[in-house]
């Protein structure tokens, strides 16, 4: 096989020799017990402070991949990358032994790894919840480094609630600061061997913080951190309702203004990523109205709107189209893919068959309750997102949507079949709902 990729700053991504998936955990995961700890019970409904980004300079993919790979992307006239969230294998019970939990994540990771060899994948943008249950460092080997040990590309990540959660034995203070292991593994000052990688080759990522932007050929991604609650997601103080800063709003608005200009000279898709989905019909979490409003406010102020919004958190695949009146009727896919390996969980009971419309959002296809991942392709004119399931029944393309970037319209071929009889959701089914339970 070819030598593993080495980044221009000495980054390493893959082990040189492919190896079989593990079948048992190196570190048995007992962190479920912290759900009943005094500290967790005292702080379950509280957002947590997070560190300001070291800087707001956008990451550039040229810093992470060697010139020959960047040149190949440019020569091909398109970029292809992966995205998915909620990957950590930790859901072990009497009904799901460890080997099955490991296999759920392993099948998705292995399908993505296989793609790298045949599809010129540039990178993997993780949508959060890398590690369960509480983002502890000791689980990074089993849930992150081992599953992606042969994935020979950079993995960027925004933290999910489980990555940010803190825990402790008492109720006064956590024994591990919020986001501690995530910062060690994804926000290191320099690319270096991780203390949590168990000797595997993948080096630490050098993101400036838990919110950041990434510029690549034909695509830019803005990643936001939506904090530690099981629901809803929170990215700002929401006018003083939450005791956290509004720095992510300033960051988001500045990035939107920057990309509004960049897009005029460097054709590209602009993708927004946050762990908690603004729109969701999952049974447990629902959509997060706070971030939806925050993002709209920033976009309106910048006069610029993303081409696609990606989230995880809900453990299934969902694809909405939001028609944004303030953006001149721009059609924007809001895609949820929290299907990377932790769990596959059914949506709300009694949900009508898609398409179903509430307000300015339409659930375009019936949610797919299988493990799988997103593959995104952009040539600067069209952004395409494809969901591929990868489970015991095999690897299969299940849904595809394309966005015409110049006109802000959804590809007709991809969704026409779903638009024959749009039905309204009954009142009990909300695409979004605020919740602090
Ligand atoms: Fe989550």
Backbone angles phi, psi at 311, to 5 degrees: -145, 170
Q: Which residues contact 387 (CB under 8 A, 6 or more apart)?
A: 317, 319, 335, 337, 339, 368, 372, 373, 374, 397, 398, 399, 400
Protein residues near ligand 1, an ion, with CB under 5 A: 129, 160-161, 313
Ligand 1 centre to CA of 373 (Å) is 16
Tokens of 157: 């990540």
Q: Which residues contact 279 (CB under 8 A, 6 or more apart)?
A: 287, 292, 318, 320, 322, 334, 336, 361, 431, 432
Backbone angles phi, psi at 326, to 5 degrees: -65, -15
Sign of CA dihedral 137, 141, 142, 146: positive
Ligand 1 centre to CA of 66 (Å) is 33
Ligand 1 centre to CA of 434 (Å) is 16
Ligand 1 centre to CA of 42 (Å) is 20
Ligand 1 centre to CA of 182 (Å) is 14
Ligand 1 centre to CA of 71 (Å) is 36
Ligand 1 centre to CA of 18 (Å) is 30
Ligand 1 centre to CA of 427 (Å) is 26
Nearest to 168 by CA among 34, 46, 50: 34
User: ∠ CA 351-93-132 to the nearest 5 degrees?
Assistant: 75
Architecture of domain 39-417: 4-Layer Sandwich (3.60)
- The whole-angstrom separation of Cα 253 and Cα 213 is 12
Which neighbouring-strand residues pair with 331?
323
Domain ranges in the chain?
39-417
Provide the pLDDT for residue 32. Answer: 81
Nearest to 162 by CA among 240, 89, 96: 89
Ligand 1 centre to CA of 183 (Å) is 17
Tokens of 262: 């960049």
Token pair 């203070």 is at which residue? Answer: 173
Ligand 1 centre to CA of 128 (Å) is 7
Ligand 1 centre to CA of 229 (Å) is 8
Ligand 1 centre to CA of 394 (Å) is 26
Ligand 1 centre to CA of 133 (Å) is 10
Q: Is residue 219 a contact partner of residue 200, using CB atoms and an 8 Å limit? A: no
Which neighbouring-strand residues pair with 222?
213, 272
* Helices then strands, each counted (H, E), the chain: 9, 17
17-52 burial, b if ≥16 CB within 10 A, otherwise e? eeeebbeebeeebebeebeebebbeebeeebbebee
- The whole-angstrom separation of Cα 233 and Cα 190 is 30
pLDDT tens string, the chain, 437 residues long: the values are 578 999 999 999 999 999 999 999 999 887 788 888 888 888 889 999 999 999 999 999 999 999 999 999 999 999 999 999 999 998 888 889 999 999 999 999 999 999 998 888 999 999 999 999 888 899 999 999 999 999 999 999 999 999 998 766 666 666 788 899 999 999 999 999 999 999 999 999 999 999 999 999 999 999 999 999 999 999 999 999 999 999 999 999 999 999 999 999 999 999 999 999 999 999 887 899 999 999 999 999 999 999 999 999 999 999 999 999 999 999 999 999 999 999 999 999 999 999 999 999 999 999 999 999 999 999 999 999 999 999 999 999 999 999 999 999 998 544 434 333 333 333 333 444 333 32
How far CA 258 is from CA of 178, 220, 332, in Å, comes to: 30, 11, 20
Ligand 1 centre to CA of 43 (Å) is 17
Ligand 1 centre to CA of 416 (Å) is 32
Ligand 1 centre to CA of 102 (Å) is 18
User: ∠ CA 254-257-262 to the nearest 5 degrees?
Assistant: 120
Ligand 1 centre to CA of 159 (Å) is 9
- The whole-angstrom separation of Cα 311 and Cα 126 is 9
Provide the pLDDT for residue 37. Answer: 82
Q: Is residue 318 a contact partner of residue 281, using CB atoms and an 8 Å limit? A: yes
Ligand 1 centre to CA of 313 (Å) is 4
Ligand 1 centre to CA of 161 (Å) is 5
Ligand 1 centre to CA of 3 (Å) is 35
Taking residue 434's Cβ as centre, other Cβ atoms within 10 Å add up to 15
Provide the pLDDT for residue 286. Answer: 84
User: ∠ CA 292-298-299 to the nearest 5 degrees?
Assistant: 85
């Amino acid at each position: 096989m070819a030598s593993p990729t080495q980044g221009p700053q000495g980054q390493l991504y893959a082990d040189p020799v492919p190896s079989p998936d593990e079948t048992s955990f190196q570190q048995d995961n007992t962190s479920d017990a912290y759900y009943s700890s005094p500290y967790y019970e005292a702080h379950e409904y509280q957002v947590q402070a997070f560190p300001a980004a070291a800087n707001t300079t956008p990451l550039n993919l040229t810093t992470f991949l060697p010139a020959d790979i960047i040149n190949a992307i440019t020569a091909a006239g398109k970029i292809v990358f992966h995205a998915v969230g909620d990957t950590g294998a930790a859901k072990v019970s009497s009904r799901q032994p460890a080997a099955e939990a490991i296999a759920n994540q392993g099948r998705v990771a292995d399908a993505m790894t296989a793609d790298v060899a045949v599809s010129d994948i540039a990178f993997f943008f993780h949508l959060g919840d890398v590690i369960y249950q509480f983002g502890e460092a000791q689980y990074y080997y089993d849930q992150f480094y081992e599953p992606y040990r042969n994935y020979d590309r950079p993995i960027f990540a925004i933290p999910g609630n489980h990555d940010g959660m803190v825990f402790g034995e008492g109720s006064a203070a956590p024994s591990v600061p919020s986001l501690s292991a995530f910062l060690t593994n994804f926000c290191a000052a320099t690319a270096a061997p991780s203390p949590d990688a168990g000797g595997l080759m993948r080096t630490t990522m050098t993101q400036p913080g838990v919110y950041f932007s990434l510029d690549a050929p034909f695509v830019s991604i803005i990643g936001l951190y939506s904090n530690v609650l099981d629901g809803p997601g929170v990215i700002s103080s929401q006018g003083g309702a939450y005791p956290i800063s509004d720095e992510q709003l300033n960051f988001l608005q500045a990035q939107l203004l920057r990309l509004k200009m960049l897009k005029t000279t460097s054709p590209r898709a602009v993708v927004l990523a946050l762990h908690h989905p603004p729109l969701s019909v999952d049974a447990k979490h629902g959509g997060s109205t706070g971030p939806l409003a925050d993002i709209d406010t920033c976009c309106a102020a910048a006069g610029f709107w993303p081409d696609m919004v990606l989230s995880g958190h809900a453990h299934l695949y969902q694809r909405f189209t939001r028609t944004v009146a303030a953006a001149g009727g721009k059609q924007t896919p809001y895609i949820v893919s929290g299907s990377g390996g932790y769990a596959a969980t059914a949506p709300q009971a009694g949900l009508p068959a898609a398409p179903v419309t509430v307000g300015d959002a339409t659930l375009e296809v019936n949610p797919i309750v299988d493990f799988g991942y997103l593959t995104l392709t952009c040539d600067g004119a069209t952004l395409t997102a494809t969901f591929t399931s990868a489970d015991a029944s095999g690897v299969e393309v299940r849904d595809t949507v394309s966005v015409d970037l110049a006109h802000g319209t959804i590809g007709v071929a991809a969704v026409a079949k779903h638009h024959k009889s749009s039905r309204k959701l009954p009142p009990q089914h909300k695409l979004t709902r605020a919740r602090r339970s």
